[in-house]
Structure 1
Amino acid sequence: MTAYSSIPLSLRVNENDPRAGIDVPGLWRILRRRLRLFAAAAVLTLAVVMAITFQLTPIYASEARVVLNARETQALDVSAIIAGISPDAATVDTEVQLIASRSLARKVADDLNLYADPEFNPTLTEEEGWLSRLLPEQLRRDEQISETVMRERTLNRLMEAVDVQRAGITYAIKITAESRDPEMAARLANAFAESYVVDTLDQKFDTYELISNHLDEAVAEHQEKLRIAENAVERYRADNGLLSAKGSLLAEQQISDLQAELIIQEAELSERQAKLFGVNRRLSLGANLDGISDVLASPVIGSLRAQQAELSRRRADLENRYGPLHPSLDKLQSEEVELSAKIDAEIERIVGSLRNDVDVARQRVTTLKQSIADLRNSLTDDNQALVRLRELERIADVNRRNYEQLLQRSQQADLFENLAEADARIADEAFVPTTPVFPNTKINLALGLLLGGAMGAFMIVLAEIFDSGLRTEEDIERQLGTKLIAAVPLLSAARLKKAGSQAETYVLDKPLSPFAESYRTLRSALVLGSGKAERGQVVAITSAVSGEGKTVSALALGRIAAMSGDRVLLVDCDIRRRVLSSQFSSDDVTIGLAEIIGGEALLDEALVDDDRSDMTVLPVREDRSGQGDLFSGRGFAAFLEQVRQSYDLIILDTAPLSAVADSRAVASAADRVVHCVRWKQTPVVVAKNARKILGEIDTVLMGTLLTQVDVKAQSGYGYQGSERYYGQNGRYYAD
C-alpha cells in the first residue's frame, strides 16, 4: 500500500477524467467527522500564537518632524564663502541620510548615555555561553569587551531603532524611534531632531570660524602679547623650581604622597608592635609561646610538631608492648628532647624576627617624618617666590582676556546675524505613545486564526493518511477487491447494559434492532444469491485476526436464520480456543466435532440444542490440534456431506486465517466464505493478507462483513451502503 492509497477519495483527483474535480461533499464529511481534531489543533495553535504574542516585549514608536528652512536671509553677504541649504529634492534626501548617519547617532548615544541602557547595549545582558566555558582559559574571549566594540554595538542597536524618511514631497523629515519604553521612544526621536538642528548650527560655526582669518592683524598683536606673558610665567616657574603637579606645587604633591605613605607605615608599625607586645606579655607571665599566630602559621613548627607526635605514638606503642624499661625507649626519649629543643629554637627565631620587624618599621616611620619635614622647609622658600609668579600670571590673564574680547567682538560685528539662524527647525516634537506598535494583537489574532485553520486542515490530512482501517463499502471494494455484504452496528457496553443483554443474544433480545437487521441482510444475501458463487449450504465465517467479531457473527447469523425457519447447524471449527463451545459446554457431554470426524461417535450424540432458538450447535470438547490434521482428511468432508442432508444452513466458525492453518482447510471445504473485518480497526495490510490467503485456496469468497461499526461516526465517511439508513430511518427499528 502506498501513501497515496491511504488518502481518502474525496481528496484525490482522477487525472484521466476530464470531468474530475474536488469532491466537496466528501471534504465536508471529512471535516465533520474530524471536527474535534480540527478544533483542537486550531485552538491550540491560536493559543500558542496568542501566548507568544502576550509574551513578546511591547515596542513603542514615537515620531518627531524636522522642517528645512526654505527662506533665505541676506543681512550679510557671505554667500561667496558659505552657502545655505537649497531645499530641493536631492538636498532633502541628503539631509535624511545625515540624520540617519552614524555620527549623529553617536552624539545621541552620548547625550542620553545609552551605553548604560541594556536595551541598546547588548554587552550588559550577554552571558558567556556553555560552549565557551568548555574551552581552555587561554582560548576564551576576553572577559571585558573593549570600549570601542561596546560603543559600536550600542550604535548598531540605536540605528536599528530609528527610521528617518522624507514626508512625501515636502520639506519635512519624519524621525521615528522605537523602544520598549514609551518615554525612551519619545526621547530618542526628540534627541535626534534636536541633535540634527544643533549639528547644523555647529557646522555653520565651524565654517564661519575659517572666515575670521581676515582679522589676523587685529588679533596677532594681542596674541603675541599673550604668548610673551605666558612664556614669562613658565620661565620664572622653571628658574625658581616652582614645578606643579595636578594643579599644585610639586613639593605640595610630594608632601601629600609622603603623608599617605606615613599613615600606612605607622599602621604597620602599630600592628607589629601589638604582636611583639603580646609575645613579651606571655613571656612575662611565663606562658607558652606556642599559641601566638606566627608560631601557629609556621610550616617548620607544624612539621616538628608532627614529628613530635609520631615519636610520642611510637613511645606509647613500645611501652604497651615491652614495658617502660625497654632499651628502645631511651633512644626515643633522647630524640624527643632533641626535637623539643629544635621547636624552642624555632620559636625563639620567630620571636626575634618579630622584634626585627618592629625595628625596621620604626626606622621607616622615622625616615618618612624626616622627609616630610625637609619638604616643608623647602615649601616655605617656594612660597616666597610665588608672589612674583602670581603677578606674572595676572599680567598673562589680562592679556588673555583682552585677546578673547577682541576676537569675540570682531566675530559678532561681522557674522552675528547669519550665525543666529539655523537651516532647520523642529516642527513637531515627539510625544510619549500610549499603545505599542509591536506586537499587533489584532493582526496576530487574525494570523493565529489563519494558522489555526491551516494546522487543523493539516492535522485532518495527516489523520486521514494514517487512518489505515477500512470504513466504507468503497474502501472494501478498492482495497480488498470484494463487495460489502452488510455493516454490523457496534454494540457499546452502555447499550448492552441498558438492554440487559449480551452481544451473543442481542438478536434474540432485540430482533428489530439495526444489529439484527444487518444479519438479516447477510442471510438474505445467502438465500437470495443470484449465482452459484452466492448460494450454498455450508458457509465459513472467518477473519484475519481475533477480535473481529467472527464468533458473534456466526452465532447471530445462525439464530437469525433459525428465527426465519431455517434448519441451522453451527459448527465450532476453532479447536484451539473453542470460544463458541464454551457457551454451550456441558459436563455430562464428552463428545464433540473431533470425535465425529474421527468416527468415534455418532453425530446425534454430540449435538447441542440452543435453548434460545431452534439452532443446533456442534461444539469442540477438547483440544486435538496436536493429534494430526483434523480438517484436511476425508472425515471432515464426509461429515459435511452427512449434515447437508439434514440442515438448510451449516455455519462454520473458523479460527483466524493469519493465526492457524486449519482455517484454510475449513474455508476450502465450505461452499462460501464470509470475511469479517472490524470497522476502522483492522489494518488494511492485515485484511489484504487474509484476502490473499482466501484467493489462494479453492473456495468462493461471498464478500466482506464489516463489524462493530460506529454508525454515528460512519455517517461522516459517506453514504455508500445501507448503514446510512440506520440513522435516517430509525422509526423502522426498535433498539
Structure 2
Amino acid sequence: MNQRHVLRSLQVNAHSEPQAPPFHLANLISVARRQWPVFGLCLIFFLALGSFYCFTAVPRFTARTSVLIDGVNSQVVEQLSSVAGVLDDEASFLGQVELLKSEAIAFAVIDGLKLQDNSEFMRGAPNPFLRVPRSLLTFFRPARPPSGPDAMRRQALEVISRDMEIARIGRSYVIEISFTANSAELAASVATAVADYYLADKLESKTSATRRAGDWLQLRIEDLRHQSLQADAAVQRFRAANGLLVANDTLLSDQKLVDISLSLNAARTETEKAQARVEAIQAVVESGAEEGVVGDALESPVINTLRQKFLEASRRHSEIVRRSGEAHAQAERLKEEMAEYKRLMFDELKRIAQSYQNDLAVATSRERQIGEGLVKATAVSLTASETQVQLRELELTAATYRNLYQTFLQRYHEAVQQQSFPVTEARVIARAMPPVTPSEPRIPLVLAVSVVLGCAAGAGAAAFREASDRGFRAGEQVRQVLGLRFLGYLSHVAPLVDSLPKPPSGKHEIRSKDPIADFATEFPLSPFAETLRNVRLAAELEIPKRGKVIGIISVVAGEGKSTVAINLAKLLAQGASTILIDADLRNPGATRTIAQHAQEGLLEVLLSGDPPSSRALKDPESGALFLPTVMKRRIPRSSELLASGHMARLLAQAAEAHDYVLLDLPPVAPIIDARAVMPHLDAFVLVVEWGKTPPKLVAEILAAEPQLKELCLGIILNKVDSRKMKLYREYGSSQYYASPHNAYHHEDPDMTVVDLRQAQE
C-alpha cells in the first residue's frame, strides 16, 4: 500500500506543472495532412474566381510618357525666395509629382481635348466584380445624371484621377505618366496632353514668378545698402568713443592679462617645489635615521664624504665585533666615530634645510606680488570686455547687412537674366505611343494573386479548424497537458452484425442488448482488448493487493464509460474474480445495456445489508458479476447514499470476495457522486472521448480535486476514429508505428472462437 502511494506521489510531482507541447515541424506536417482538402478547396475557389475575372474583364490599354526634371539647372525662383540658396531636391521633386496630379493640369487636359464630350472616355470600363454591388446601389439610390458643363467636367476629372498614374522611376529625376483607357489612341493622347500642359504651366508660372521676384529684389537691395552703411558707421563711432586699442586682432588689456596669468602659474609651481623640498628634508632630520641621508647626500659633497666614512667605520666595527666581541676597545672607538659621523651628517642636513627655507620664502613673496598684479589686470580687462561685447554686437550687425546686400545684389542680376531668357527644368524624354497589346487584365498577375489569396484563405481556414479542435487526439498530449499516465485508445466500434450467436440467458444472467458490450471478449486480440489489458496491468502495478476497488469515471456524459466498464469487467473476469457495480444512480447506463430485465440491484443490497453477489447477475461466458441499479423512483440524495457507511460496507464485502471491484460512476463535471465515493476507492480510470472533451475542462476538474488526480490510474481515449487517427500521427509517436504493429492485432471472430475453445480445453 505504501509502495502505491510513493509511486503515485512521484508521478504527480513529476507532472505537477504540465506545459503545452512545443510546436515542431512534425506538427506542421500533421496539420497539412489533416487540412489539405480545405486548403485545396480554397485554392481552387480563388483560382476559379481569378479565371472568371480574366474571362469577363474588358481589355484596356495603357500609354506612358516620361518627363525629366533636370536637377542641374538653377532653380531661380526657389533660390530667390531662400536666403541660403540651397534647394531641397527631394521635396521639390515630390512637389512636381503632386503638380502633375493637380486639378489645374487635369482641367487643362479636359478642356484642351474636349474629354467631357467624348462618350468613350466618359463611359470607362468598371470592374466586372463591382457591377452587381453597383447595380444594387443604383436600385436603392438611383443615380442622378450629371447636368451642365461643370458637372460633366467634374465627372471627367474623376475619370482622369482614377485611370491616371504618376510615378517616379527609381531614384532618378524621371516621372512616368501613364493613362489607361478602352482605346489605345485615347490613352496615348491623354498621356501626351498631360505632359504638354504640365510643361506649359511650368513655363508660365516660372516667368511670372521671376518677374515678381525681380521687382521685389530691387526694393529690398536699396534698403539693405542704407542699413549696411549705417551699421559700419556705428562701429567706427563706438570704437573711437571707448578707446579700444587692438593689436593682432586682440585688445592690449587682454594680452597683458594672459602674460600675468602665465607668470603666476610659473611662480606657484616654484613655490610648490620649494615647499616640497623643505618638508622632505625636515622629515629626514626629524627621523634621525642615517638611511634617510642618502637622497640629499647625492647633491652634497660633504654629506657624501661623511657617509662613506660612516659606512667604512660600520664595516670595520662589524669585523672586530665578529672576531673579538662587542667589549673590545677598538670596537668601542669605532662606535664613537660612527656616532660622530652621523652627527656631522645631520648638522649638514640642517644647514641645507635652512637654505631651502630661504628659497621657499623668496618664491612665496614673488607669487604674492604677481597675484596682486593679476588682480589689477583682471579689473582692467573686465571693464574692456564689457565694452567689447557691445562692439562685437555692432560689428556682427554690420557684417550681416553687408552679406545680405551682396547676396541679394547677385540674385537680382540672375533674375534680370532669366527674364530675358526663361527656361524650364522639365522636358519630355519619351512621348506616348498607342500601345499594341492591352495592359488589363494582367492574367499572370491576377492568377498569381488568386493563388496567394487562395493559399492565405486556405491557411486561415486550416488554422481556424485546428484552433477549433479542442479535444485530445494523442497520448502524448494527455501526458504533456495533464501529467497523467496514458492507458491507450479504444476505437469507435460499429454494431457487430456478424457476431457469434449466443445461447439464451437465464433470469440471473446478463442479457446484452448491445453487441459492443462483448467486443473485448469476442475479439481478445484486438487493439480494443489490448488497451483494457493495459488497464489491468496498471492496476496490478499500482495496487498490489487483492480486492482492488476501481472506479470508472468520465468528465462529461456520453463519453462511453459504461461500455468501457462492461468490457473491462468481462476481460478481467477471464483471469480473476470480478464484479461490476453500476453506481450511476441517476443515469444507470450499464444497467440499460446489459440488465434491463433486472428487478433488484444496488439499492436493495444497501438497504438489506446482503452481500453484493446476492443480487448480482452473471455473464455466462466470462463469469463476471454485475450488480445493476434498478431505478424505480428518483433518488434526490444519491451522493449521500454513495458516501454512506452502507456503501463502504458493501465495497468492503465485495473486495473480500472478489479480486476486482469495478464501479461505473457518474461523470465528475455535472454532479458530485464520484467525489462522494472517492474515500472508499483504491483508484480511478478516467475515460475521455477522443477529439470531443476539451483538455481545459479535464485539467480544471483534476486541478480542483487533487485526490482524484492522485488516485487516477490513467486516461483512456474512447471512440477513436481510426481513419482520422492516421492524420494525427507524428514521427516518433506511438501512432506513427501503429501500422507495423497491426500484425499483433486481429479482429477475426472465427479465429477468436477457436482460440478460446483451445484455451478452455
TM-score bin, normalised by smaller chain: 0.5 to 0.7
Q: Deviations over 1:457-494 (max 9, x none)?
A: 3333333333221222333234333221222222246x
**Residue of structure 2 equivalent to 1:615:** 624
How do 1:473-492 and structure 2 match up within 5 A? 473-492=475-494
**Residue of structure 1 equivalent to 2:588:** 578
How do 1:641-720 and structure 2 match up within 5 A? 641-692=652-703, 694-696=705-707, 700-715=711-726, 716=728, 718=730
The 2-side partners of 1:425 and 1:580 are apart by 92
Given the superposition, is the C-alpha separation of residues 683 and 169 from structure 1 closer, same or farther in structure 2, using an over 3 Å criterion? closer
How do 1:69-148 and structure 2 match up within 5 A? 109=110, 113-117=114-118, 120-121=121-122, 146-148=148-150
**Residue of structure 1 equivalent to 2:740:** 728
The 2-side partners of 1:653 and 1:572 are apart by 5
Given the superposition, is the C-alpha separation of residues 512 and 117 from structure 1 closer, same or farther in structure 2, using an over 3 Å criterion? farther
Match of 1:522, as an amino acid?
V
**Residue of structure 1 equivalent to 2:451:** 449
The 1-side partners of 2:709 and 2:661 are apart by 18
**Residue of structure 1 equivalent to 2:377:** none
Q: Is the 8 A contact 2:58 2:125 kept in 1?
A: no
Q: Deviations over 1:365-398 (max 9, x none)?
A: xxxxxxxxxxxxxxxxxxxxxxxxxxxxxxxxxx
Residue of 516, 522, 526 corresponding to 1:509 = 522
The 1-side partners of 2:122 and 2:673 are apart by 81
Given the superposition, is the C-alpha separation of residues 640 and 181 from structure 1 closer, same or farther in structure 2, using an over 3 Å criterion? same
The 2-side partners of 1:7 and 1:146 are apart by 73
Q: Is the 8 A contact 2:684 2:713 kept in 1?
A: yes
How do 1:584-599 and structure 2 match up within 5 A? 584-585=594-595, 587=597, 590-599=599-608
**Residue of structure 2 equivalent to 1:537:** 548
Q: Deviations over 1:413-443 (max 9, x none)?
A: xxxxxxxxxxx9999883453333x332212
Match of 2:698, as an amino acid?
A
Match of 2:679, as an amino acid?
S
Match of 2:620, as an amino acid?
D
The 1-side partners of 2:18 and 2:60 are apart by 48
Q: Deviations over 1:186-235 (max 9, x none)?
A: 55457779999999xxxxxxxxxxxxxxxxxxxxxxxxxxxxxxxxxxxx
State the Cα distance separating 1:123 from its structure 2 match: 12
Q: Deviations over 1:335-378 (max 9, x none)?
A: xxxxxxxxxxxxxxxxxxxxxxxxxxxxxxxxxxxxxxxxxxxx
Given the superposition, is the C-alpha separation of residues 536 and 145 from structure 1 closer, same or farther in structure 2, using an over 3 Å criterion? farther
The 2-side partners of 1:179 and 1:428 are apart by 17
**Residue of structure 1 equivalent to 2:40:** 39
Q: Is the 8 A contact 1:673 1:699 kept in 2?
A: no
Q: Is residue 2:639 matched to residue 1:626? A: no
**Residue of structure 2 equivalent to 1:548:** 559
The SS at the match of 2:713 is strand
Quote the sequence identity (%). 25
**Residue of structure 2 equivalent to 1:138:** none
Given the superposition, is the C-alpha separation of residues 518 and 453 from structure 1 closer, same or farther in structure 2, using an over 3 Å criterion? same
**Residue of structure 1 equivalent to 2:532:** 519
The 1-side partners of 2:144 and 2:678 are apart by 83
Q: Is the 8 A contact 1:570 1:615 kept in 2?
A: yes
Aligned length in residues:
464
TM-score by length of 1: 0.53
The SS at the match of 2:642 is coil
How do 1:336-347 and structure 2 match up within 5 A? none
The SS at the match of 1:452 is helix
Q: Is residue 2:443 matched to residue 1:430? A: no
Q: Is the 8 A contact 1:712 1:727 kept in 2?
A: no
The 2-side partners of 1:646 and 1:128 are apart by 81
State the Cα distance separating 1:571 from its structure 2 match: 1.0
Given the superposition, is the C-alpha separation of residues 566 and 111 from structure 1 closer, same or farther in structure 2, using an over 3 Å criterion? same
How do 1:245-256 and structure 2 match up within 5 A? none
The 2-side partners of 1:426 and 1:718 are apart by 63
The SS at the match of 2:459 is helix
State the Cα distance separating 1:672 from its structure 2 match: 0.7
Q: Deviations over 1:73-102 (max 9, x none)?
A: xxxxxxxxxxxxxxxxxxxxx999999997
The SS at the match of 2:594 is coil
TM-score by length of 2: 0.51
Q: Deviations over 1:480-536 (max 9, x none)?
A: 33221222222246xx45768832122223222212221122222222x1566x996
The SS at the match of 1:680 is coil
Q: Is the 8 A contact 1:668 1:699 kept in 2?
A: no
The 2-side partners of 1:456 and 1:6 are apart by 32
**Residue of structure 2 equivalent to 1:224:** none
Given the superposition, is the C-alpha separation of residues 119 and 484 from structure 1 closer, same or farther in structure 2, using an over 3 Å criterion? farther
**Residue of structure 1 equivalent to 2:758:** none
State the Cα distance separating 1:697 from its structure 2 match: 6.1
The 1-side partners of 2:140 and 2:626 are apart by 80
Given the superposition, is the C-alpha separation of residues 193 and 704 from structure 1 closer, same or farther in structure 2, using an over 3 Å criterion? closer
How do 1:228-267 and structure 2 match up within 5 A? none
The 1-side partners of 2:696 and 2:98 are apart by 69
Note the residue ranges of structure 1 that are not aligned, 5 or more in a row.
12-22, 68-93, 135-140, 200-423
Match of 2:739, as an amino acid?
G
Q: Deviations over 1:682-729 (max 9, x none)?
A: 122432343245425697221211111224433425367644443332
Match of 1:462, as an amino acid?
F
**Residue of structure 2 equivalent to 1:78:** none
The 2-side partners of 1:721 and 1:65 are apart by 64
